[in-house]
Chain A
Amino acid sequence: MATMSMIQALRSAMDVMLERDENVVIFGEDVGYFGGVFRCTEGLQQKYGKSRVFDAPISESGIVGAAIGMGAYGLRPVVEIQFADYVYPAIDQIVSEAARLRYRSAGEFIAPLTIRMPCGGGIYGGQTHSQSPEAFFTHVCGLRTVMPSNPYDAKGLLIASIECNDPVIFLEPKRLYNGPFDGHHDRPVTPWSKHPKGEVPEGHYTVPLDSAAVHRPGTQLTALTYGTMVHVAECAAIESGIDAEIIDLRSLWPLDLDTVVASVKKTGRCVVVHEATRTSGFGAELAALVQEHCFYHLEAPIVRVTGWDTPYPHAQEWDYFPGPQRVAEGFRRALEG
């Protein structure tokens, strides 16, 4: 067992898969010689050569389109979109092609690709380096959408994604790359080396793509969340003294509905927490599912704590970000309701 940051864990996952499967290739903007703007692929080109790990032109539709062709050939491409905010030029390739290829060809061709992209704010990235576009992808049939909240899951989920024969959107909360950020931006972040989830096996293991984790058991309410907000919700529970059960969804879609339903039935109250904008966000789907499956167990309306329905601002970042105080207020509303 080693201690790894999320960056190191992601790199380790790609290293393991490049070593194990000669069909794995990695490409994207700046990922080759330089090792990526967040250093996730550092050293991999040197270790595996330029035909396995290489730089791509600034063309997201070209990157994903080429990856689909490679997947059809029999490779397992892992591509990096430098920021999730940059993925939109590739939407046609992702939505109309990768997600549909197996279906429309009745299984003759598949798109076993993993599309990695850093998401979320908290780094003063402004509206073009801070978005959480997960709901665009959970809406698309044929895609798997994954977002880890810690190094252990990041490595296990990434290996599972690379081995998966379905296309996977792999969202990496960049604010968690170096530590479990709890939303207190004015305090230093604890490094992953001091967190139990920073303990990561060096070799191969997977975290299944359809299982949520009970991040913190609790009795008073269920917080459904993922990514950075797992740690923010935990902080809100500690600081408010509210015994929230925090479910880390890990795989957004397909969703581990059983874990969600069991928790809400137990606590009778539900708060949905995400950093993305609220309207038609993934939280809306979660609220609908909880209503459909747990209505007679609910003792209060479902509460949503999310980013505002505005572009992610630059200077007002911390007024936008749903920090521990806003999450705790949401918890209180769910208890009062």
Chain B
Amino acid sequence: MSASAPLAPLRLHVPEPTGRPGQHTDFSYLHVSPAGSVRRPPIDTPPYDTSDLAFALVRVLDDEGNAVGPWVPELTPDELRFGLRTMLKTRIFDARMLIAQRQKKLSFYMQCLGEEAIAVAHALALEPDDMTFPTYRQQGLLMARGAPLVDIMCQLFSNERDPMKGRQLPVLYSFRKYGFFSISGNLATQYPQAVGWAMASAIKGDTKIASGWIGDGSTAESDFHAALIFAHVYRAPVILNVVNNQWAISTFEAIAGGEGTTFAARGIGAGIASLRVDGNDFLAVYAASRWAAERARGNFGPTLIEWVTYRAGAHSTSDDPTKYRPADDWEHFPLGDPIARLKQHLIKRGEWSEERHAALQQELEAEIAAAQKEAERYGTLADGQVHSAADMFTDVYETMPAHLVRQRQELGV
């Protein structure tokens, strides 16, 4: 460079989504692979051998509803119908709880609209004793694992039967019986915990595996990297799920570091086998989860899976996404609606029909309405039928120390 040549001023690059309100999003940044086009390596493949899979997109269902390619899983029509049913149940449940929140029966809610396939199909690929460490958008795990709707609703209503005794925000469930770890409102913290749980299973010589969850936004937290390092170093039997739904509240995935790369690629750099998968393709989610679960259980180590999906609804009941992204974005999202896609596949195979679908919808709506009626008998936040104030002081320690006894007396309960 000559001494006299003026240098161009440096510029800070701040990524932007391709669509904002009033515009159309250009989803070509997703680099969608054709269904059936991505190879399926053996489960004992070395992590570096999955490098291409971290940039491709594993898909099974094509646009016509055919299951194609090497990732087509062995699932019976009954299992597929169970998956469809559970996704639909999750969606109807979410819709009912949103209405209940507007009625002030619960203070807050978070739906998983458009992302139902990920948690539901993943749960079907696990064994009942495997522990999941979810975020707040994996209610599909609870639905698939058979947690009673009334118990879930009692937590949401913070009522006298709330298993969390009114201490946690709605949605931050804990269901040990259903292999569902206590959800924290702090993001990413559960990721190294999932790895630690998996390490414990290996230390004890058991056969259980863990499944950790995080969103694209919180992969920026240092706990994400800590978890990857620990999972790799100790070859922990864990599946590290990254749900890339494109949006962290109002922040586009590029601000989390997704621009020009993928979240699955983070795993490759850490020495972890990594897959990037169509999260709206029930069959692909099941197949990839199964691959990772078998790999973990076979002592071949962790797998990181980026599930590409779209957060069709608001972040929470406190959010209005029309302020920061196109209102009709989901309609143009190239990976579609997971329920519609599985339904199309089953109909194409002659295993389902519009009539059966409508009947199922009716049946589930009745089931959820009945559960809500029962849950409301135990109270809602609106009617104040909640756990006593004395319950505030228990479980801070295993036994209540003297200072808490004094404080409880001070409150007069």
Contacts and interface: CB of A to CB of B under 8 A. Distances in A.
Contact of A97 (B163, B175, B186, B229): B186
Contacts of B174: 104-106, 108-109
Interface string A195-222: 0000000000000001000000000000
Categorize the interface residue count of chain B: 35 or more
Contact of A51 (B131, B203, B210, B223): B203
A62 B229 CA distance: 8
Contact of B192 (A51, A61, A77, A257): A61
Interface in B116-174: 131, 133, 163-165, 167-168, 172, 174
Interface stretch (A65-73, A153-161, A264-272): A65-73
Contact of B182 (A66, A75, A101): A101
B181 interface: yes
Interface in A66-103: 66-75, 77, 89, 92-93, 96-97, 100-103
B229 A57 contact: yes
A254 interface: yes
Contact of B401 (A52, A97, A210): A210
Contact of A59 (B164, B198, B230, B396): B230
B193 A106 contact: no
Contact of A72 (B191, B197, B226): B197
Contacts of B175: 108
B84 interface: no
Interface string A261-285: 0000000000000000000000000
B184 interface: yes
Contacts of A25: 203
Contact of A67 (B133, B182, B186, B196): B196
Interface in A119-156: 141-142, 144
A95 to B, nearest CB: 9
Nearest to B198: A69
A254 B199 contact: no
B402 A257 contact: yes
Contacts of A100: 184
Interface string B213-231: 0000000001101110110
Contact of A104 (B172, B198, B203): B172
B78 interface: no
A71 B203 CA distance: 12
A166 interface: yes
B201 interface: yes
Given A51-B202, A62-B223, A106-B174, 19 more contacts: A51-B203, A57-B233, A62-B227, A65-B227, A66-B196, A66-B199, A66-B230, A67-B196, A72-B196, A73-B196, A73-B197, A92-B189, A96-B189, A101-B182, A106-B163, A108-B163, A109-B174, A109-B182, A254-B403
Question: Ordered nearest first, which 8 A-B pairs have the shortest CB separation?
Answer: A69-B196, A65-B192, A62-B226, A66-B196, A73-B200, A69-B193, A69-B197, A105-B182
Interface of B: 131, 133, 163-165, 167-168, 172, 174-176, 181-182, 184, 186, 189, 191-204, 210, 222-223, 225-227, 229-230, 233, 395-398, 401-403
24 contacts: A57-B233, A59-B225, A65-B193, A66-B195, A66-B199, A69-B195, A69-B196, A70-B197, A72-B196, A73-B131, A73-B197, A74-B200, A75-B204, A77-B196, A93-B192, A102-B398, A104-B164, A104-B182, A105-B164, A105-B174, A105-B182, A109-B174, A254-B402, A257-B402
